[in-house]
Structure 1
Amino acid sequence: MSDINEMEIPSRADEIRQVTPKDPMHEIEDKSTYHAKIKKSDSGTVPGAIPLNSRSSSNSSVTSTGQSSRRVTKKTSKKKKKNACYFDTCSSAASKFIGDCNFCKGHFCSKHRLMENHACNGLTSCKEQLHQRNADKLEAEQTKAPKIQI
């Protein structure tokens, strides 16, 4: 092995390939640009080449061989969609038990779980039912016998 100081630096710019780490973990230790000397063989492959993306976080990678380049895409599995809030502008996750509305059958987050907060269609009928139930309860609690007078 030769020492780093004795390494030959290529003169042509197309013989140098710059590989910069895109992973934040690599950037913490050293933010410098890595250079690798590329020697082309007769078959067009590059022996001892440093891979461009050793730890790729993206869905696709680019592979260069000689003069031509091609794009290789990896198949990614689709993530399950979160149980999102039914409110128009909200992107929060819906609450499992307290977020169900019995009148509009929607699933809402903790902010929009109340009928007043998500502008429920059944709000007026719900209020009418509550008023009627309270009136019946008050009527049942009233005394039927006249008051004792002295």
Structure 2
Amino acid sequence: MFKIRRSRDFQHVLLSSPQEEQFNKLHDRFLCSGLGKIYRAVPWDEMAWALGLAEAEMGPRPIFSPRCKVAGMFLMHYVGCSDRKLVEGLNGKPDRHFFQSIYLGAERLVNHKIGSVVRCELEAKLDMGTVQKALYGNWSAYIDGRPATDMDATC
């Protein structure tokens, strides 16, 4: 079994100068894309907290961080893909690595049920009121004049 590394944990340590420059160019290009704009607009850590997700304090570190799990569900909805297509996209598209804050390197995911497992975990912890407060707290400056805010709970 291979080990997936979170991009935040290692990108400045393992990459040599030419690779780091290429990585930074890819990341900058990602931030300018539609997906990158969503990535910057969503309060990922607040969403993970609102969903009751936290880093494991004991035992081995899970492959996906709480932020990565929430981002994966956003990504599935944004792209309109199935669990299998999500994993295939993670295996082949660097933008999706950036969106989920992971880096697979030369390794590939083979378990196409990851999306279902994460979706079930989030569903069990979902409290719509807390999620709405987290989103409204971040976006209230942009929706001041609106008397109501709608939210879709389907994934």
TM superposition score category, shorter chain reference: under 0.3
More strand by percentage: 1
Calculate the TM-score normalised by the size of structure 2: 0.17
More helix by percentage: 2
Calculate the TM-score normalised by the size of structure 1: 0.17
> Rg: which structure is higher?
1
